């Protein structure tokens, strides 16, 4: 029954990772920049949206922490009594 909690951690890590990816895909937008002087072509600039970037970083960090906790908990063996331990 205790492994259920660690499976939930792994599931939440996947959800947070997908959410971080979705946030990261919306971080940048393209903006047209007019020419500075006559005769130069217009250019395109990349504009970043800081709140979405911070949210993506926080979600990615949360996903990493939950993934480590979940996988470590699933890999951990049940504690054995000291008299049955064999190195």
* Inside any domain, residue 82: no
Mean pLDDT in the chain?
88
Which residues, in sequence order, are CB contacts of 50 under 8 Å at separation 6+?
none
- In this prediction the pTM is 0.75
- Residues spanned by the domain of 25: 2-77
Asked if the structure places residue 56 within a domain, the reply is yes
What value does the CA radius of gyration of the chain take, rounded to a whole number of Å? Answer: 23
* Greatest alpha-carbon span in the chain: 87
- Cα 8 to its chain centre, rounded Å, is 16
**How many domains in the chain?**
1
User: pLDDT tens-digit profile of 56-83?
Assistant: 999 999 999 999 999 998 888 666 566 6
User: What's the CA gap between 20 and 84, in Å, rounded?
Assistant: 45
pLDDT band at 26; cut points 50, 70, 90: very high
Q: Is residue 84 part of a domain?
A: no
- Comparing 81 with 15, the larger pLDDT belongs to 15
Indicate if the pLDDT at residue 84 is higher than 80: no
The DSSP annotation for 26-69 comes to TSEEEEEE--SSTTPPPEEEEEE-HHHHHHHHHHHHHHHHHHHH
- Is residue 1 over pLDDT 60? no
């Amino acid at each position: 029954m205790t492994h259920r909690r660690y499976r939930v951690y792994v599931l939440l890590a996947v959800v947070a990772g997908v959410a971080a990816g979705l946030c990261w895909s919306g971080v940048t937008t393209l903006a047209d920049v007019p020419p500075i002087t006559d005769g130069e072509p217009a250019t395109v600039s990349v504009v970043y949206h800081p709140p979405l970037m911070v949210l993506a970083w926080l979600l990615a960090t949360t996903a990493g922490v939950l993934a480590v906790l979940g996988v470590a908990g699933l890999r951990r063996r049940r504690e054995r009594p000291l008299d049955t331990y064999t190195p």
